[in-house]
Structure formats: C-alpha cells, structure tokens
C-alpha cells in the first residue's frame, strides 16, 4: 500500500506503537461496560458493551464518567 500525503510520517504514525491502557469489563445495574480502573475503587467508563438503547442516553453512563465499584475475584470452586 502506498500512502501519498503532505503530512509528515511522524504525525501519521504517532501513537501507533503506544501500549494500550489496562481495561476491565464489569457489569453494573445490568449494564456490561468497559472501564479503566482508577484509584480508590473508582473507574472511568470507556464504552458500553451490552445494554438497552435507553442506557446510551443516560448521562451517568456516558464515556468518561467516573463510577465507583468494588472489584472482586470470581472463585470457581464456590460457584
């Protein structure tokens, strides 16, 4: 593939080798979402993965919102 552009190649490839940020998939109130864990049991919403259409209009679940949650480890021996 040939790319013809007047934009410097450094600008085009900027960020392409950057490591992706750590994310987790959690479910809160029946909404499966992808979040970036933060400090003090909080997380920032990246995107909604599985929810009703009305939940997309709820500003509390908008990408970038900070939510609070308690992460837990699932132990398959007790399930």
Domain spans in the chain, listed from the N-terminal domain onward: 22-70
How far apart CA 3 and CA 6 sit, in angstroms, is: 10
pLDDT at 41: 87
Entry pTM = 0.67
pLDDT at 77: 60
pLDDT at 76: 65
- DSSP character string of the chain: -----SS-HHHHSTTTTPPPPP-EEEEETTEEEEEEE-STTEEEEEEEEE--HHHHT-GGGSTT-EEE-------GGG-
pLDDT along the chain (79 residues), means of 10: 86 78 90 93 94 94 92 64
């Amino acid at each position: 593939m040939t790319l013809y552009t007047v934009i410097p190649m450094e600008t085009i490839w900027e960020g392409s080798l950057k490591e992706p940020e750590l994310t987790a998939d959690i479910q809160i109130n029946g909404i499966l979402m992808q979040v970036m864990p933060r400090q003090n049991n909080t997380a920032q919403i990246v995107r909604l993965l599985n929810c009703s259409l009305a939940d997309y209009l709820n500003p509390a679940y908008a990408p970038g919102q900070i939510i609070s949650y308690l992460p837990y480890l699932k132990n398959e021996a007790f399930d």
